[in-house]
């Protein structure tokens, strides 16, 4: 239970909830719950049922950018219900619902659906007049729907000139969530790019620092190797001098005199052996404590030089 509470109250959960709400709002305002009529009218000024023989492109050219929506339904359709279905997507426009009647002399059944601003309030009278006028003369064009649309367009222009309906083109604007989704996408790209840049920059700095440390350690080991090699050569030379002196005088009886070559050289060799152990340990630790080892190499080299001077 505690883990669930922690997950719910985490910032990620709030961000996820916000994204889900934005997605739901975008889908709803984009018409995911629209019926076929509203879905078409949201993006077009003309809708025709599959049973209506209408050239959609030609019909769009007839209507143009007028604030006019025409819906043509099959015979027997509920015209009032169709008007209700476009109430949101055709808001601010003059609407007309047409449906051919069956019979020996078919005509269009007409239903005015004016949704001009204030149609249910201060402009109720203008909306009523538009409903009565917009379908004048279309009844006999059942077999010629394009001509019927031309008559409707003329009626609309007459209403505009009379000031009954407002003038101006119909606009198809994306819903606000689309703008928000686009802004969120741009923000995500910018934030993601910035984040990648920052982390890449930091990773680059860390890698450069590590490389610098490795190079410094490599240089230090190179210096140590050179110093140790020089000291080893000194030890070899001293050992060559030490062995003959032992052979000439035979085994020492008692302890050699302090400060003599025979006394100091074994101590130097022992210290050199300890130095080699320290160098191996430093290598296993990644080159640490190189300064101390370098000082020890220098001190042993000076001792070796002094011993060499004693044998000359």
> Would strands 108-112 and 94-100 be described as parallel, antiparallel, or unpaired?
antiparallel
Residue 69: what are its φ and ψ, rounded to 5°? -125, 125
* pTM score above 0.95: no
pLDDT number for residue 61: 93
CB-facing half-sphere around the CA of 18: CA atoms within 13 A: 9
CATH architecture for the domain at 34-174: Roll (3.10)
Domains of the chain, by residue range, sit at 1-30, 34-174, 212-310
CA 151 to chain centroid? 52
Phi-psi domain of 66 (left: phi exceeds 0; alpha: psi -120 through 50; beta: other): beta
Q: With beta carbons less than 8 A apart as the criterion, state whether 96 and 110 touch.
A: yes
Rounded CA separation 191/185 (Å): 10
pLDDT at 10: 55
- pLDDT at site 46: 93
pLDDT of residue 146: 93
Low-confidence ranges of the chain (pLDDT < 50): 31, 251-253
- What pLDDT was estimated at residue 240? 75
pLDDT of 289: 60
pLDDT of residue 205: 81
DSSP lists the bridge partners of residue 96 as: 70, 112
User: Secondary structure of the chain: what % helix, strand, coil (to 5)?
Assistant: 60, 5, 30
DSSP 189-208: HHHHHHHHHHHHHHHHHHHH
The pLDDT assigned to 251 comes to 47
């Amino acid at each position: 239970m505690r883990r669930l509470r922690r997950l719910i109250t985490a910032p990620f959960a709030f961000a996820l909830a916000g994204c889900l709400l934005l997605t739901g709002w975008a889908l709803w305002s984009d018409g995911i719950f629209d019926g076929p009529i509203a879905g078409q009218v949201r993006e077009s000024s003309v809708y025709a049922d599959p049973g209506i023989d209408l050239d959609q492109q030609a019909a769009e050219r007839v209507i143009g950018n007028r604030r006019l929506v025409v819906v043509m339904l099959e015979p027997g359709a509920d015209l009032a219900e169709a008007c209700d279905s476009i109430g949101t997507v055709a808001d601010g426009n003059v609407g007309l619902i047409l449906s051919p009647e069956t019979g020996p002399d078919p005509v269009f059944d007409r239903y005015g659906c004016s949704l001009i601003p204030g149609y249910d309030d201060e402009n109720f009278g203008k909306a009523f007049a538009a409903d009565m006028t917009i379908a004048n003369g279309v009844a006999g064009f059942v077999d010629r729907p394009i001509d019927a649309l031309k008559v409707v367009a003329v009626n609309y222009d007459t209403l505009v000139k009379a000031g009954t309906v407002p003038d101006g083109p119909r606009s198809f604007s994306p819903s606000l969530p689309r703008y928000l989704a686009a802004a969120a996408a741009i923000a995500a790209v910018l934030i993601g790019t910035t984040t990648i840049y920052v982390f890449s920059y930091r990773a680059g700095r860390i890698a450069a620092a590590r490389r610098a440390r490795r190079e410094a350690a490599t240089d230090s080991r190179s210096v140590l190797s050179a110093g140790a090699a020089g000291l080893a050569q000194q030890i070899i030379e001293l050992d060559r001098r030490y062995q003959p002196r032992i052979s000439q005088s035979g085994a020492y009886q008692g302890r050699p005199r302090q400060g003599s070559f025979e006394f100091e050289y074994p101590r130097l060799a022992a210290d050199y052996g300890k130095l080699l152990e320290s160098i191996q340990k430093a290598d296993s630790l990644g080159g640490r404590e190189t300064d101390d080892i370098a000082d020890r190499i220098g001190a042993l080299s000076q001792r070796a030089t002094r011993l060499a001077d004693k044998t000359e």
